[in-house]
Amino acid sequence: MDSIRVQGGVALQGKVRIQGSKNASLPVLAATLLVEERSFIKNCPRIADVHSMVSLLKCLGCCVRWQETGIVVDSSCVRKREMCQKAVTGMRSSLCLLGALIGRFGEVIMEYPGGCVIGQRPIDLHMAALGQMGVKFTQKNGLLMASAERLCGACIRLPFPSVGATENIILAGVAAEGVTVLEGAALEPEIGALCRYLCCCGACIEGVGSGRLVIHGGRRLRGTTFRVPADRIVAGTYLLGCIGTGGSAFLEQAPEEDMAAVLETARQMGGYVCTCREGIYVQAPRRPKPVRLVTATYPGFPTDLQSVVLAAETRGDGTTYIEEKIFENRFRIVEELTKMGACIDKVDSGRVAVHGVERLHGAKVTARELRGGAALVTAGVMAEGESFVEGCSFIYRGYENIGRDFRELGARVTSV
């Protein structure tokens, strides 16, 4: 089931329910390690990355089970602090277990975390910040070892608002002695979700939603029930995908409050977008209007949705300019889209010009990373005739069932 077959050329029509957020679920699940009681995390998506996180938590000794659409985690019996599992290298988010385990035990041994091949993805910011809190790092035989005799609050200024580093500082900060003041924190909504979960458990974090967080460490955390928000990136995939394919769609539960830049871009592309409490309605133009897009940290346009705009604009009514500012390897789909008849110039490693064509044609293409893969399925739906997208295991890392979702919207998409 590593390929997806798409019979394209159909304008979308219908309603799809948006799954829970991957990027919020993963750090919240990691944070359950700091709570030595039972937590019930509702609305977790059934995606490969969440399954990997569940197996990592189990491997550490947590009792973990799915209950309907949520996950119950009890970390009271955890004694282990080593994670030398394959899952660590395959999933970047295993990195937030670093902050959680340092917080719980003051010590962790893990393989160097992996993730999508969309750039270098160093962890220097994580190490420097945790270093300020008293953590010492060593590397031996490819393993990363971190330990802190005393984990202490610190005044930390992040030179770049890294999402993962912000999460690790929060996780270590709630367990540390004293107060951690974090300046330059990432503003992504998933950080807010992590803070809200920890505060529900009894942590004290001031400034949630801002770039300056004050974390009062050392409080006892109690188990709680917490609902993960809907996935703004999945919602954005179908919203922008609809603009590329034509037609109209209702995205049930889409978190419009976290999607201002995406909605703005969708409107610039000629989409009619309206929002209500239940979700987002979008109606596509005949062909997308060209735009100038620059990715940025939140509240700017998310890098995770850049490939979907790129795919949609291959049918644009003019030339679209896209600049990628966050990850350097996010234009790997250009070659694949070209096989479908797209006309794209790489200006340099961080910029492309997409010259819209009237129509794409079906082709055999290969996904090489998560969001690019979703963009290729979208392009398949836009193209006339049959396409095969191979390498879909990347897509299943973040989308529960992209085929089912597109079928809900009337597209002919099947796993083969």
Point out the residues that are catalytic: 116
Under the binding rule (CB under 6 A), the answer on residue 373 touching ligand UD1 is no
Shortest CB 163 distance to ligand UD1, Å: 4
Number of residues that bind ligand UD1 (CB under 6 A): 24
The terminus-to-terminus CA distance of the chain in angstroms comes to 5
Under the binding rule (CB under 6 A), the answer on residue 327 touching ligand UD1 is yes
**Amino acid (1-letter code) at residue 183:** E
Residue 210, burial from CB neighbour count under 10 angstroms (0-12, 13-18, 19+): exposed
161 vs 316, beta carbon nearer ligand UD1: 161
CA separation, residue 95 to residues 161, 164, 175 (Å)? 16, 7, 17
Short-list 13, 6, 24, 1, CA closest to 227:
24
Measured CA to CA, the distance from residue 42 to residue 214 in angstroms comes to 27
Among 5, 46, 121, 412, binds ligand UD1 (CB under 6 A): 121
Tokens in use for 151? 């984990």
Conformational region of residue 141, where left means phi above 0, alpha means psi within -120 to 50, and beta covers everything else: left
Under the binding rule (CB under 6 A), the answer on residue 278 touching ligand UD1 is no
**Could you tell me whether strands 343-348 and 292-294 are parallel, antiparallel, or unpaired per DSSP bridges?**
unpaired
Shortest CB 161 distance to ligand UD1, Å: 7
Q: Write the binding mask 179 to 218 for ligand UD1: x where contact by CB under 6 A, - elsewhere.
A: ---------x-x----------------------------
Measured CA to CA, the distance from residue 128 to residue 139 in angstroms comes to 15
Shortest CB 237 distance to ligand UD1, Å: 12
Range in contact with ligand UD1 (rule: CB under 6 A) among 99-107, 176-184, 207-215, 300-308? 300-308
CA separation, residue 164 to residues 118, 170, 267, 316, 326 (Å)? 15, 10, 30, 34, 13
Residue 360, burial from CB neighbour count under 10 angstroms (0-12, 13-18, 19+): buried
Under the binding rule (CB under 6 A), the answer on residue 112 touching ligand UD1 is no
Under the binding rule (CB under 6 A), the answer on residue 26 touching ligand UD1 is yes
Q: Write the binding mask 156 to 185 for ligand UD1: x where contact by CB under 6 A, - elsewhere.
A: ----x-xxxx--------------------
Q: Write the binding mask 64 to 103 for ligand UD1: x where contact by CB under 6 A, - elsewhere.
A: ----------------------------xx----------
Question: Token match 């300020």: residue?
Answer: 132
163 vs 379, beta carbon nearer ligand UD1: 163
Under the binding rule (CB under 6 A), the answer on residue 124 touching ligand UD1 is yes
Under the binding rule (CB under 6 A), the answer on residue 53 touching ligand UD1 is no
Which residues lie near ligand UD1 (CB under 6 A)?
A: 23, 26, 92-93, 119-126, 160, 162-165, 188, 190, 302-304, 326-327
